[in-house]
Amino acid sequence: MAITLKDLARTLNLSVSTVNAALYNRKDISSATRKRVQDMARAINYHPNLVARSLKTRKTYVLGVIVPDLSRSFFAEVTKGIDMVASAQGYNLVLCNTGEDPSREEDQIATLISKRVDGLILASAHHPESAVAPKSLSLSGIPLVLVDRFFPGTNFVGADDVKIGYLATKHLIEQGYRRVAHLRGPNVSTAQGRLDGYLKALRESGIEMRKEYILEAQFHDESGGYKAAKKVLNISPRPEAVFAASDPIAIGALEALLESGCRVPEDVGVIGVGSHRYGRYLRIPLSTVDQNRIEIGKRAASLLLGLIENGTNRKKPRLILLDPKLIARESSRCRAEARESGGESLGASAPLRTVSRDE
């Protein structure tokens, strides 16, 4: 049985309120008693019961975080970012992995409401159009921040997907590729934004868009990129480059292209999105666009904590878009001399230290 404040008070021959005040380091307690109390607390291994405290204070110092799949590096890193700022402010994370199952997402939200989390971060919300979950959430008054997938009318933190698509496509065009295909993601805001950016870059360069150059795959699935790239090879005129909406798609595409005897980047250029940690170690070091995942998590947590501490009576939902960064590697280096583009120097000869990930 856990030791309670009352136990501690009895042991010290003090009242609970004195002991409590002493533990909180209030100044209206003699420093002598304060020390006595704190020493004794440590000695008998007293740990304040936070569930009782929460019941009283109506504050749990817990943030709910719902992600579809923690084993995707995107979500793992966003979660890490969230935890960095949350824990610095004394909050803990309760993490829910929906496994991409929309019905579980609803259950999880209900549970988190019941657990009285102080706020909630929802990554890649499912079918928010049905919006049943957000509805009970807003009724519960729990502040909510969406991450990754946008949904109008709610607080949102994510990468600027239009810019991602634009940067990637523009880069390919600048490298001398004209016929650029796009392996897009499924029908969510993220994929849509990247597609828009792709179209914008084409338009800006006076390149006509071709519907048959746009194929769909799953963000996290190499085999989708593989299949789509195989199809790309049969289109005539054959595309000279591929902008994949994610690194996994790009990796699958790379595999398909090489397997079919294409040279990358000479015959076909490839660029992905996500700045996967091992992108530079692939058969052909992969160009990519960095979303700044850790920062996404950090900003989401900051925003949420702001909402929590300043009360939710914020007028309008905030929308935070982070700036993506182009990382040019070998997979997109056509004939053009290497421009300065925020990337590293060429392939395998790059100094390896820079890749170490201490932050």
Q: Give the number of residues in contact with DNA, rule: CB under 7 A.
A: 27
335 binds, among a second copy, DNA, none (CB under 5 to 8 A by kind): none
Quick check: 139 binds DNA (CB under 7 A)? no
Interactions with a second copy, residue window 311-340 (CB under 8 A): none
**Which phi-psi region, left, alpha or beta, contains residue 211 (left: φ > 0; alpha: ψ -120 to 50)?**
alpha
Interactions with DNA, residue window 27-56 (CB under 7 A): 28-30, 33, 48-49, 52-53, 55-56
CA 139 to each of CA 132, 133, 136, 248: distance values in angstroms, whole numbers, following the listed order: 11, 10, 5, 39
Interactions with a second copy, residue window 198-257 (CB under 8 A): 220-223, 226, 251-252, 254-256
* CA–CA distance, 135 with 131 (Å, rounded to integer): 6
For 236, residues 6+ apart whose C-beta sits below 8 A from its C-beta are none
**Can you give the C-alpha Rg of the chain in angstroms?**
26
**Which phi-psi region, left, alpha or beta, contains residue 355 (left: φ > 0; alpha: ψ -120 to 50)?**
alpha
Length of the chain: 359
Nearest to DNA of 30, 312 (CB atom): 30
* CA–CA distance, 103 with 100 (Å, rounded to integer): 9
Interactions with a second copy, residue window 30-89 (CB under 8 A): 45, 47-52, 54-55, 60, 62, 65, 69-71, 73, 76-77, 79-80, 83-84, 87
User: 184, 276, 299, 325: which one contacts a second copy (CB under 8 A)?
Assistant: 276
For 250, residues 6+ apart whose C-beta sits below 8 A from its C-beta are 183, 225, 242, 244, 270, 271, 272, 273, 286, 288, 331
28 binds, among a second copy, DNA, none (CB under 5 to 8 A by kind): DNA
Nearest to DNA of 57, 87 (CB atom): 57
For residue 178, the Cα-to-chain-centroid distance in whole angstroms is: 32
CA 142 to each of CA 38, 88, 91, 313: distance values in angstroms, whole numbers, following the listed order: 35, 21, 15, 11
Where on the chain is the footprint of a second copy (CB under 8 A)? 2, 45, 47-52, 54-55, 60, 62, 65, 69-71, 73, 76-77, 79-80, 83-84, 87, 92-97, 99, 104, 110-111, 113-116, 136, 139-141, 220-223, 226, 251-252, 254-256, 258-259, 276, 278, 281-283, 294, 348-349, 352-353, 355-357
Where on the chain is the footprint of DNA (CB under 7 A)? 1-2, 4-6, 13-18, 20-23, 28-30, 33, 48-49, 52-53, 55-58
